[in-house]
Structure 1
Amino acid sequence: MSDSGQLSIQHLRSSLKPFAKPASGRAAWQVADTFLPYLGVWALLIHLFRTGASVFLILPLLLLGALLLVRIFIIFHDCAHGSFFASHRANVILGYVAGILTFTPYTYWKRNHLIHHASYANLDRRGVGDLWTLTVDEYRALSPLKRLAYRLYRHPLVFLGIGPGYSFLITQRFLYDWQGKDERFSATVTNVALLATLVAAGLTIGFKTYVLIQLPIVLVGGAVGVWLFYVQHQFKGVYWAHQDDWDPVKAAMEGSSHYKLPKVLQWFTGSIGLHHVHHVLPRIPNYRLQECYDAVPEMRTVPQLTLFKSLGSLRLNLWDEGRRELISFKSLAA
């Protein structure tokens, strides 16, 4: 990291710093307008399943529940950064609650995510809190079987279809020896709470009803979350560099997208599409990201990635170090 890079990132952060102050009233309102509708959707879905309602009534509510779960995860994400509430304890408590609802251990995920913030756009520090991405040379050095595994991993049906269920329902249930006691504690608390929820559901609404509601909500919400995380750092024109050349300003402003979503989707995703703003200063709560973007001219210099244009990111699979850009498997073959 160069000295000029440090000065530049400090300048950007100083201009954003006034927005890195949690607002208790806005945070409380966001909890109310997110968690209460989510619980309401659950109550309505339980009623519809019990009364044998039409699938055409049930499916839109399942989708709404999934989108509200994405918004809950954004609140969970802010708690992990200590930005949602001014109180550390309040962030931790809400983080654990939101983590149980999203099937994600709070401290376990927080650790990996903070590593992501320290290593994103850095080719020498890949592997934690990101999607598996290889350079062209690394891919060419693989055996045919490992190339196939990588191609399958990068296929949308896998990382958006199988991936969310595998991650949220399976891998995050396990404890790992390399993690500290805080991470293991959060995983244990989350797993015990989920097991208790499953038992309580079986004794009340019925195991089948619980699964028919919870599974699609988690899988669809998880797929939306994975897509957001993917497109925030993998898009045409993205910046990546090796450690010696890594620049914090370019990493934040060019290595993170401004994902311009329709207003209704921006609401459900907690303005996380303003990802370059978030990476310049992660302590800005989601409910102040748009306000920050509107007030700070430098934040508006980043090109916008529209919903339509973002679909092209699905074809980007490998980092070409010579061209310094993401390319497709097809482009490599050509």
Structure 2
Amino acid sequence: MTIDTSNNVNFSETKRKPNQIWPDWCEAMRKFRASNNLKATWQIINTIVPYFCLWYLTIRSIQHDYPSVIIILLIITSAAFLVRIFILFHDCVHYSFFQSKNANIFFGYFFSLFLFISFADWRFTHLRHHGKYANLDSRGYGDVWTMTKKEYENTTTFQRIRYRLFRNPLVLFGLGIFLLSKRPSYFMVKTRERIDVLFTYLLISAIAFAVSRIIGWSTYFLIQLPVLWLAGGFGIWLFYVNHQFEGVYWARRGEWNPFFAAMKGSSFFKLPAVLNWLTSNIGYHHVHHLDPRIPNYHLQRCYNTVPELQNAPPVTVTKSVDCFRLKLWDEDLQKMVPFPC
């Protein structure tokens, strides 16, 4: 069985092209693409309702001057549910959450109001991430800034300091939500999409203004800012471990292989049951990259059903800490390495 390694293969979405040859077992994954409206609806209920309840409890705790530890625990839990909202949003981006494309678009915009991001812009960038990830000649689409060892050695001192600061865990996970954010991609494309992005951010601002007028600016910011910051930091940690781990795959355009990019360039992040639920199975990231149209609620079952998917070595929470020492891609050794001494 041969695998097409041509660099014009786009595995970012669903349809299998006549000239695109994958291992036979990939065909077994197709049945898990079927979206289930009941499961999607239940996920919305068991995520959005608790999130609103947590906000209400936090507001009341602040207004009644409850102990700080209670408020902090409520904020941390709210942030955890916001991460889950992001994964549901992520499924909508791939049009996999609901059966209907229009339903995915509607709820994609709905979730984006909680996340303070643009659905249209994030979809624009994220689908390119799927089509270009692990390609050294196409970096910069929704990935963590990664330099090769030679690039690092040949760049300026200022750039090396800047890169070292960025890859520092305290900076990456503490300020990463701001460092990874870029101005909307659609600002450089079409007027219609530009208006779409602007309208989204105006609507987010209007909602924030209305809520803050009801509960007070200080209460609103005391809850919203740490919830977004914590959820952003946790989300970046997930994304980092999904694509920055021991044994990860990178290749130049001429040698880039979409199957290897999905299977070896994305990790199986084995999380405890509670974290796996809160992150809606996104730890099965190699499964997601092999077929992005499989909704989150089918990822685990797909993994358990297709034996070949289980060949991916798991990255545990303990092992994920070791991923932070990996800073550069060594093209000679074909692996991620720490900074040189």
CA contact (8 A) 1:175 1:187 kept: no
Q: Give the corresponding residue for 1:19.
A: 32
Q: CA shift at 1:103, angstroms?
A: 0.8
Which of 42, 53, 64 is the equivalent residue of 1:29?
42
2:202 equivalent to 1:189: no
CA contact (8 A) 1:198 1:207 kept: no
Which of 237, 242, 260 is the equivalent residue of 2:247?
237
Which of 330, 334, 339 is the equivalent residue of 1:320?
330
In 1, the alpha carbon distance for the partners of 2:300 and 2:3 equals: 30
Which of 255, 268, 280 is the equivalent residue of 1:258?
268
In 1, the alpha carbon distance for the partners of 2:101 and 2:175 equals: 35
In 2, the alpha carbon distance for the partners of 1:118 and 1:132 equals: 17
Q: Give the corresponding residue for 1:42.
A: 55
2:155 equivalent to 1:142: yes
Letter in 2 for 1:196: A
Q: CA shift at 1:181, angstroms?
A: 3.7
What is the root-mean-square deviation of aligned Cα atoms in Å? 1.6
Q: Residue by residue, what CA displacement relative to the aligned partner does 1:125-164 show, whole Å, maximum 9, x if unpaired?
A: 1111111111011111111111111111111111111121
2:103 equivalent to 1:93: no
Change in 2 beyond 3 A, CA 1:305/1:3: closer
2:93 equivalent to 1:83: no
Q: Please report the TM-score for the alignment, with normalisation by the length of structure 1.
A: 0.94
Q: Secondary structure at the match of 1:319?
A: strand
Q: Secondary structure at the match of 1:177?
A: helix
In 2, the alpha carbon distance for the partners of 1:186 and 1:271 equals: 30
Q: CA shift at 1:11, angstroms?
A: 3.1
Q: Residue by residue, what CA displacement relative to the aligned partner does 1:167-190 show, whole Å, maximum 9, x if unpaired?
A: 56xx45x67631334542332122
Which of 203, 217, 242 is the equivalent residue of 2:213?
203
Q: CA shift at 1:191, angstroms?
A: 1.1
Q: Give the corresponding residue for 2:12.
A: none
CA contact (8 A) 1:232 1:258 kept: yes
Q: Give the corresponding residue for 1:305.
A: 315
Q: CA shift at 1:308, angstroms?
A: 0.3
Structure 2: tracts of 5 or more residues without a match: 6-18
In 2, the alpha carbon distance for the partners of 1:63 and 1:22 equals: 31
Q: Give the corresponding residue for 2:230.
A: 220
2:74 equivalent to 1:61: yes
Q: Residue by residue, what CA displacement relative to the aligned partner does 1:223-244 show, whole Å, maximum 9, x if unpaired?
A: 0111111111110111111111
User: Identity of paired residues, percent?
Assistant: 42
Letter in 2 for 1:230: Y
Q: CA shift at 1:123, angstroms?
A: 0.8
Change in 2 beyond 3 A, CA 1:12/1:279: farther
Q: Secondary structure at the match of 1:244?
A: coil
CA contact (8 A) 1:12 1:280 kept: no
Q: Residue by residue, what CA displacement relative to the aligned partner does 1:267-324 show, whole Å, maximum 9, x if unpaired?
A: 0001000000000000000011001111111111110000000111111110000000
Moved more, 260-269 or 52-61: 52-61
CA contact (8 A) 1:9 1:280 kept: no
**Hey, which of these two has a bigger chunk of helix by percent?**
1
Change in 2 beyond 3 A, CA 1:258/1:66: same
In 1, the alpha carbon distance for the partners of 2:329 and 2:172 equals: 18
2:293 equivalent to 1:283: yes
In 2, the alpha carbon distance for the partners of 1:300 and 1:175 equals: 36
Q: CA shift at 1:166, angstroms?
A: 4.9
Q: Give the corresponding residue for 1:126.
A: 139
Q: Secondary structure at the match of 2:188?
A: coil
Q: Secondary structure at the match of 2:315?
A: strand
Change in 2 beyond 3 A, CA 1:185/1:11: farther
In 2, the alpha carbon distance for the partners of 1:283 and 1:202 equals: 38
In 1, the alpha carbon distance for the partners of 2:156 and 2:255 equals: 30
CA contact (8 A) 2:124 2:185 kept: no
Aligned residues, how many? 327
Change in 2 beyond 3 A, CA 1:325/1:68: same
Q: Please report the TM-score for the alignment, with normalisation by the length of structure 2.
A: 0.92
